Chain A
Amino acid sequence: METGISVLSSRMSVGRVIYLDHAASTPVDARVLEAMMPFFAEHYGNPSGIHVQARASAQALEQSRREVAEILGCKPKEVVFTSCGTESDNLAIRGVAFAAAQAGKGRHIITSACEHHAVTHTIAQLCENFGFEQTIVPVDRWGMVDPADVKRAIRSDTVLISIIYANNEVGTIQPLAAMGEIAREHGIPLHTDAVQAGGYLDLNVDRLNVDLLSLSGHKFYAPKGVGVLFVREGIALLPQQTGGGHEGGRRAGTENVPYIVGLAKALKLAQDVRPTENERLARLRDHLIQGIQAALPDVQLTGHPAQRLPHHASFVIPGVEANALLMHLDLAGICAASGSACNTGAAEPSDVLLAMGIPPQLALGALRLTLGRSTTAEDIETVLEVLPTVVRRLSTLQPR
């Protein structure tokens, strides 16, 4: 059967697809893929075994652990490999909460109003089903948490503080080190979801003053399906997945060696190019933001204007519904997002935007453009041509 593939790719998209959704996922770097390849069919042993095949896998696994530890500035044994960022968040929060409750330390958790669902839904379940209580500290109009609020929220039974490093929807970077200092003074572990920060920001756990830190490989050019949880030595953690004593007894299950090798390689590559690539991305990103604001004066930047991820531009657009906008951009060959993924077409304002004081109606017009290694100045010019046209066309449409 003749399909529409030629029609659509050649006529409905203008030239190549411009991918500006790197906060959702990134392509696997060719060097990463190359590093992974031997561990599928050549060195396939289970790292727990004793034979030559097992040793090859175990060596790659521990080498990867050392590489990740070096970047985090921690001990290799403090690195736990997981299946994704969400699992890392779950393990950190449940693991610490249950261990603390078991030790009779309390059941109070502090978090912020700009967390990812992997954190908010996990804490919500602890509260609904396991007798925990939470204090959600507010964010300001930029999506920034005030460390003083965290300090005020601390109670004698507080067992965990979980604050995102950089927000996925608005890109705001939190003052983690200051909060870590407060947490340390009170002897409370600080966890951070660093999934969005992984490829772009300093991950040194001592400079950040954090005790637990979650990463996800596919946000920095490793494949989907592999993540990291840093757990500082001495932090009590009840494993959430039991079985063999893998990962220092903290996460049972045969290690996903090729993906772990890929993650370590990708993290190293990302951190190596960080200074120059961040500068390049920020320059393109700033040009994008200025261009959009010049063409569409009603459009508001969301998130902090300066303290934000270098590749991250996010907006709210009055009178425009995000899903319609994304559809128009897609048909014009531009991959964008509204901030939180939803494929059922349901328009719900984001909790994070509402917490920043953005009115619900305006929050429905959220647009997130996240740049990456393949993004060129030409791409940005194309977006600056297409986006204002699409927005103007949509604003004249009768609302649904």
Chain B
Amino acid sequence: MAERGTVVVAMSGGVDSSMAAALLVEQGYGVIGVMLRLWAACSTRDNRCCTPDSIAAARQVAAQLNIPFYVLDYREAFRHIVVDYFVSTYAAGRTPNPCILCNAHVRFGLLLKEALALGAQYLATGHYARVRRTETGEYQLLRGLDLTKDQSYVLHRLTQWQLQHVLFPLGDWLKSDVRRAALQRGLMVHDRNDSQDLCFAGENGDYRAFIAQYAPQLLRPGPMLDTSGTLLGQHRGLAFYTIGQRKGLGIARAQRTYVVQLDPARNAVIVGNAEELGRDALFASSVHYISGQAPPSPARVTARIRYKSPDIPATLTCLEGDRAYVQFDRPLRDITPGQAVVFYQDEVVLGGGFIE
């Protein structure tokens, strides 16, 4: 075995995971490249994970780095764990984030176990996040140093056991430096587009087209109502709408109008004005804490309610049954059931759960 141990690196054919692999090789690890085949649908978009193009790109990088490279068929698991959840969450009138489940159960679940079985000690990815081991031996998940690329939000469900075996070589890199470093190393992928979230959705990352193909029942038209129950028009199916959405509602009202609620029981979309949208608190369920246990609470935190939304100061109260209550310092327009709320203290991820 290599001096620093053996690591399996999950490659997507994009610049980030390619650089992650290159750095690990330079740091003296024995590196094994793998690519997960997650979804069967054919797409020629070159920033889609697991297209023939992406496989060829990752294979080429692996050849440049002189590391073994394998494509692993995870389509079955991905469908059961991620796609079914994605569809059923929409069916319940909520807005899913499939990347979170994929990371928790597929990438850092099944693949991590497979990596360890291969004789590796670590699994590495190109995520922008950091892992720190404290003096007491506890593993902490930290934001990526490049705050514009930070991906800790989608990693907030990782456990102590997983973090012990995870390497994020790009955690203290800036994205702009990654591209330059890839170019310097002559990696063919230095100018490839970034991998997209919703890797399995169709062209342009349009999840609605995906829903139309795989869960057409979610595209049943129904009433669009205001908060007092007045019928304003028809909607095209709940899956086309998310809380806070203002565009594409297809109705004309004097004041700015937003989606404020999705009601699967009545197959209705409820719209209202900005004041009706705002909430300053939420309940979350299936809350996971990185440390393995709930922190003393109430606790002052900052919280993110979407992957790309800013941190909002809030007070976290941990509740029984893996639930939590989050009181924000100011009202927010886009608290969306189904999305994750992730709690931070400075750069440390405390954990998170799903918005009820």
Interface residues of A (CB under 8 A from B): 1-5, 7-8, 11-12, 321, 323-324, 327-328, 330-331, 343-347, 393-394, 396-398, 400
Whether the Cβ atoms of B114 and A397 lie closer than 8 Å is yes
B117 & A397 in contact (Cβ 8 Å cutoff): yes
Contact present for A343 and B32 (CB under 8 Å)? no
In the complex, A335 Cα to B198 Cα: how many Å? 36
A-facing residues in B40-84 (Cβ within 8 Å)? 52, 55, 65-68, 70-77
Out of A2, A344, A397, A398, which one reaches B71, CB within 8 Å? A344
A323 and B73 contacting across the interface, CB-CB below 8 Å: yes
Say which residue of A11, A12, A397 sits within 8 Å of B113 (CB atoms).
A397
- Of the listed residues A8, A321, A396, the one surrounded by the most CB atoms of chain B closer than 10 A to its CB is A8
Instruction: Give the residues in chain A near B138, CB-CB below 8 Å.
Output: none
- Asked whether, in the complex, the Cβ of B73 is within 8 Å of the Cβ of A3, the reply is no
Instruction: Assess the A394–B25 pair: CB atoms within 8 A.
Output: no
**Chain B positions within 8 Å of A3 at CB level:** 25, 65-66
Interface residues in chain B, defined as those with a beta carbon under 8 Å from any beta carbon in chain A: 1-2, 6, 22, 25-26, 28-32, 35, 37, 52, 55, 65-68, 70-77, 110, 113-114, 117-119, 185
The 10 A-B residue pairs whose C-beta atoms are closest, nearest first, are: A345-B71, A4-B25, A5-B66, A345-B73, A345-B37, A327-B70, A7-B2, A3-B66, A347-B73, A400-B77
| A323 contacts across to B, CB distance below 8 A | 70-73
B242 shortest CB reach to chain A, Å: 31
- Chain A residues with CB under 8 Å of B30's CB are 4, 7-8, 11-12
Cβ contact within 8 Å between A4 and B66: yes
A residues within 8 A CB of B1?
11-12
Q: List 19 A-B contacts (CB under 8 A).
A: A1-B26, A2-B26, A4-B65, A4-B66, A7-B2, A7-B25, A7-B29, A12-B2, A12-B30, A321-B73, A323-B72, A327-B70, A327-B118, A331-B32, A331-B68, A344-B37, A346-B73, A394-B117, A400-B74
Whether B77 pairs with A346 at a CB distance below 8 angstroms is no
In the complex, number of A-B residue pairs with CB atoms less than 8 Å apart: 84
Inter-subunit contact A2/B73 (CB<8 Å): no
Residue in A closest to B36 when the chains form the complex, CB atoms: A345
User: Given A4-B25, A12-B6, A344-B52 in contact, is the A400-B71 Cβ separation under 8 Å?
Assistant: no
Given A2-B26, A4-B25, A331-B68, residue A346 in contact with residue B37 (CB < 8 A): yes
Choice from B2, B31, B117 contacting A393 with Cβ under 8 Å: B117
Residues in A whose Cβ lies below 8 Å from that of B71: 323, 343-345
| Closest A residue, CB atoms, query B24 | A4
The residue in chain A whose Cβ has the minimal distance to the Cβ of B106 is A400
- Which residues from B are CB-within-8-Å of A393? 117
Docked pose: A347 CA to B72 CA in angstroms: 9
Q: Is the beta-carbon distance between B118 and A328 smaller than 8 angstroms?
A: yes
The distance in angstroms between the C-alpha atoms of A265 and B76, with both chains bound, is 48
Q: Which residues of B contact A12 (CB under 8 A)?
A: 1-2, 6, 30, 32, 68
B162 → chain A, closest Cβ, in Å? 15
A17 to B1, CA, bound (A): 16
Please give, as numbers and ranges, the residues of chain A lying within 8 Å of B72 by CB-CB distance: 323-324, 327, 345, 400
Residues of A within 8 A of B35 (CB): 345
CA of A398 to CA of B105 in the docked complex: distance in angstroms?
A: 12
Q: Are A2 and B110 in contact (CB under 8 A)?
A: no
User: Hey, which chain B residues are within 8 Å of A7, CB to CB?
Assistant: 2, 25, 28-31
Contact between A2 and B113, CB atoms less than 8 A apart: no
Q: Which residues of A contact B28 (CB under 8 A)?
A: 7
Query: How many Å lie between the Cα of A397 and that of B28 in the bound state?
Result: 28
**Contact of B73 with A11 in the complex, beta carbons under 8 Å:** no
Enumerate chain A residues within 8 angstroms of B75, measured Cβ to Cβ: 346
Q: Which residue of A lies closest to B71 (CB)?
A: A345
Chain B residues in 8 Å Cβ range of A344: 37, 52, 55, 71
CB-CB under 8 A for A400 and B114, given A4-B25, A344-B37, A345-B37? yes
Q: A397-B117, A400-B74 are in contact. List 19 more A-B contacts (CB 8 A).
A: A1-B26, A2-B25, A4-B30, A4-B65, A7-B31, A8-B30, A11-B30, A12-B68, A323-B71, A324-B72, A327-B70, A330-B70, A331-B32, A331-B68, A331-B118, A346-B37, A396-B117, A397-B114, A400-B77
- Shortest Cβ gap from B199 to chain A (Å): 15
Query: Which residue among B37, B110, B118 has the maximum number of chain A CB atoms within 10 Å of its CB?
Result: B118
- The smallest C-beta distance from A346 to any residue of chain B, in angstroms, reads 6
Q: Complex Cα distance A394/B117, Å?
A: 7
Chain B residues with Cβ below 8 Å from A397 are 113-114, 117
Give the CA-CA distance A323 to B37 in the complex, in Å: 12
- Complex partner residue of A11 from B2, B66, B68, CB under 8 angstroms: B2
Complex: how many Å from CA A329 to CA B76?
A: 23
In the complex, A324→B31 CA distance in Å?
17
Distance in Å: Cβ of B28 to nearest Cβ of chain A: 7
CA distance A301 to B113 in the complex (A): 29
Cα–Cα, bound, A400→B114 (Å): 9
CB proximity of B277 to chain A, nearest CB, Å: 42
Contact B119 A331 (CB under 8 A): yes
CB distance from B65 to the nearest CB of A (A): 6
**Could you say which residues of chain B place their CB within 8 Å of the CB of A345?**
35, 37, 70-73
CB B62 to nearest CB in A, in angstroms, measures 10
Using known A-B contacts A3-B25, A12-B6, A12-B68, determine if residue A400 contacts B73 with beta carbons closer than 8 Å: yes
A398 touches B110 (CB 8 A): yes
Residues B70 and A4 in contact, CB atoms below 8 Å apart: no
Residues of B within 8 A of A400 (CB): 72-74, 76-77, 110, 114
Residues on A with C-beta less than 8 A from B52 are 344
Bound-state CA distance A6–B65 (Å) is 11
User: What's the nearest-Cβ distance from chain A to residue B334, in Å?
Assistant: 36
Distance A393 CA – B113 CA, assembled complex (angstroms): 11
Complex: A346 Cα to B32 Cα, angstroms = 19
Residues from chain A with a CB closer than 8 A to the CB of B37 are 344-346
Distance to closest chain B CB from A5 (angstroms): 4
| Bound-complex Cα distance A74 to B230 (A) | 90
Chain A hits for B185, CB < 8 A: 1
Cα A72 to Cα B76 in complex, Å, equals 48
Q: Which residue of B lies closest to A1 (CB)?
A: B185
Give B74's nearest chain A residue, CB to CB: A400
Residues of A within 8 A of B70 (CB): 323, 327, 330, 345
In the assembled complex, which residues on chain B have CB atoms less than 8 Å from the CB atom of A398?
Answer: 110, 113
